[in-house]
Amino acid sequence: MSGNEEHFFEGAEKLLEIWFEETSSNNDDLRNISRSDWENVLSQVNCEIISFSKNDLIDAFVLSESSMFVSKRRWILKTCGTTTPLKCLSQLIKLASLNGYKIITDLFYSRKNFIRPEAQVTPHKGFTEEVSYLDTLFPNGRSYCLGSMNLECWYLYTFSRSDMKLSPGHMINEGVESDPDQTIEILMQNLDQNAMSVFNKKNILSAADATSMSGIDKILPNMHIDDFLFDPCGYSMNGINEKGEYMTIHITPENLFSYVSFETNVAMTNYRNLINQVINTFKPGKFIVTIFANKCSLAYETMKELEVEYSKESHWKRTDMQCCNFPSYNLLFAQYSYNGKNNCTI
| Catalytic positions | 66, 80, 236, 250
C-beta contacts of 61-66 below 8 A and 24+ residues apart:
61/238, 62/226, 62/227, 62/228, 62/236, 62/237, 62/238, 63/236, 66/13, 66/236, 66/248, 66/250
* Rounded distance between C-alpha atoms, residue 208 and residue 50, angstroms: 15
Kindly compute the dihedral angle of the four CA atoms of residues 71, 206, 114, 275, in this order, to the nearest 10 degrees.
70
Return the sign of the alpha-carbon dihedral for residues 74, 78, 160, 137: negative
Hey, what amino acid is at 218? K
Apex 338 CA angle, 291 and 13, nearest 5: 45
The C-alpha R_g of the chain, in whole angstroms, comes to 19
Burial class (CB in 10 A: 0-12, 13-18, 19+), 118: exposed
Apex 83 CA angle, 82 and 85, nearest 5: 145
The reply, when asked if residue 254 is annotated as ligand binding, is yes
- Binding site per annotation, positions for substrate: 9, 65, 230, 254
- Binding site per annotation, positions: 9, 65, 230, 254
